Amino acid sequence: MAKAASSLTFSTSLPKLCRPFSISITQPPQVSLNSKKLSCSISSAFKISRRTVTTTKASSMASSGITTVDQNNRKVVEVFVTEEELAVSLAKYTADLSDKFAKERGSFTVVVSGGSLIKSLRKLVEAPYVDSIDWSKWHVFWVDERVVPKDHPDSNYKLAFDGFLSKVPIPSGNVYAINDALSAEGAADDYETCLKHLVHTGVINKSSVSGFPKFDLMLVGMGPDGHVASLFPGHPLLKENQKWVTHITDSPKPPPGRITFTFPVINSSSYIALVVCGAGKASVVQTALRKSQNSDVFPVQMVSPEGELKWFLDKDAASKL
Ligand SMILES: O=C1O[C@H](COP(=O)(O)O)[C@@H](O)[C@H](O)[C@H]1O
C-alpha cells in the first residue's frame, strides 16, 4: 500500500479553445434499464446526429453510455444515468490507460485533483482492478494542492490517501505530494523543480509540441464556478504561460493558499478525464459544451489537451445539454 508521500521538491500561448465539433454518437448505450425509448437530441454548438437510445429517463441527453466525439476523436462526452455507472466506467478507462502506458513506456504518470473526483475513483480499489493494475508503474501527482499540513482536512493529499492511495500498492516514492513546510510560493517552486527532475530522468514525458511536461493521464474535477485545478474564473493565473506550477494566495474557495499546475502543463497531457457530477454544475457544463465561440468564460473551457479530452458526466450535470 502506498504509505507516506515523497516530499517534492518540480509556452506556448494559451491554446485556441472550443475546436469546432462535428459530433456523432458512436457507441451503443451501455445499460438498458426500463426500456423507455427516447430520441436523443443535442444541438446548438455541436452538429449532433440523432438516434434512438434506451434509457431510464426521457430527458435530453441524460442517457447512460451516450457518447459524443469530435471529428478527430479528441473530445468525447459521455453521460451516465448514475454516478455509480460513471465510477465503473472511469475505473475501466483508467485501468486501460494504465495497461497501455505501462507496456509502452514502463511507467504511468497520473495526475489527480481533489474534491469529488476522489470518490469517483473508488472502483479502482475494488476487484478486478485492485489486483489487475500494475500499481508499481504508477507515479501520482496533484494538479493542485492546498498548502496545509498533509493531515489537515483540507489537504488534497489526505483526501486521495484516505480514499484511494492507502488502498493500493503504489510505491511510496512514486507519490509526489507537496512540501507542506514551505510557503505557497516555495511549495510551487519546489514542485516545479521536482517535475523538472522527473522529466530529465524520463519518468515524465516532455511534449515535443509545447516543451511542457506531458502527463499520461489527468483525472480532474470541476467546481460549480467552472474552476479546474486551482485556476479560478477571472484570475490572472489563467494567463500564466511560462511556469509549470504556480501558487495562489487569494483563492476564492478556501483555503486561500494553494499551488496549481498551469494551463500549458494541463493542456500538454496525453489524456484528460474531466469528471463532473451534480445539478449544481449543469449550467457551466452547458456553457462549456454548447458554446462554439472561443470567448472563454469559465476556466474549464480552457482545458484543451494535445491528446484526448473525455468528459464523464452524470445525468444531473448533463441535464441542461
Ligand atoms: O478546491 C478544489 O475544488 C475542485 C472542485 O471540487 P469539487 O468537490 O467541486 O469536485 C477540485 O477539482 C480541486 O482539486 C480542489 O482543490
Cell of 72: 478527430
Whether 140 contacts 174, CB under 8 Å = yes
| Same domain? 181 vs 213 | yes
Please identify which residue in the block is written with the cell numbers 423507455: 36
CA–CA separation, 218 vs 278, rounded Å?
21
Which of 69, 120, 114, 64 lies closest to 90 in space, CA to CA?
120
* C-alpha of residue 223 to centroid of ligand 1, in Å: 5
Residue 53 sits in the same domain as residue 184:
no
In a domain, 321, yes or no: no
The reply to whether ligand 1 has any atom less than 6 angstroms from the CB of 70 is no
Residue 245 CA, ligand 1 centroid: distance in Å: 17
Q: What is the pLDDT of residues 96-146, one digit of tens each?
A: 999 999 999 999 999 999 999 999 999 999 999 999 999 999 999 999 999
Atom of ligand 1 nearest to the CA of 277: 10
Nearest atom in ligand 1 to 224's CA: 9
Q: Same domain for 24 and 144?
A: no
Q: What distance in Å separates the CA atoms of residue 57 and residue 275, rounded to the nearest whole number?
A: 21
Which residue, by CA, sits nearest to atom 16 of ligand 1?
A: 114
How many independent structural domains does the chain possess?
2
The Cα–Cα gap between 54 and 35 comes to 6
Residue partners of 98: CB distance under 8 A and separation at least 6? 108, 110, 133, 134, 137, 138
CA distances from 50 to 63, 66, 210, 294 (A): 13, 11, 37, 26
Residues 60 and 172 in one domain: no
Asked if 35 and 167 sit in the same domain, the reply is: no
| pLDDT tens digits, one per residue of 221-253 | 999 999 999 999 999 999 999 999 999 999 999
Grid cell, residue 274, equals 474531466
Ligand 1: does its nearest atom lie under 6 Å from the Cβ of 253? yes
Ligand 1 pocket residue status of 115, Cβ below 6 Å? yes
Single out the residue of 304, 298, 272 nearest to residue 286, CA to CA.
Answer: 298
Asked if the structure places residue 28 within a domain, the reply is: yes
**231 DSSP 8-state letter:** B
Residues 21 and 122 occupy one common structural domain: no
pLDDT band per the 50, 70, 90 thresholds, residue 265: very high
Using the mean position of ligand 1's atoms as its centre, give its distance from the Cα of residue 118 in Å. Answer: 10
Please check whether residue 216 is in contact with residue 109, taking contact to mean a CB–CB distance below 8 angstroms.
yes
Ligand 1, atom nearest to 276 Cα: 10
Q: Is 114 in the pocket of ligand 1 (CB under 6 A)?
A: yes
Is the domain of 85 the same as that of 207? Answer: yes
CA atoms within 13 A on the CB side of 167: 17
Position 18 pLDDT exceeds 50: no
| ipTM of the complex model | 0.99
Which residue out of 227, 266, 276, 298 has the highest number of ligand 1 atoms within 8 Å of its CB and is therefore the one to mutate? Answer: 227
Residue 147 C-alpha cell reads as: 498548502
Q: Same domain for 44 and 158?
A: no
245 and 278, same domain (yes or no): yes
From CA 253, how far away is CA 66, in angstroms rounded?
Answer: 33
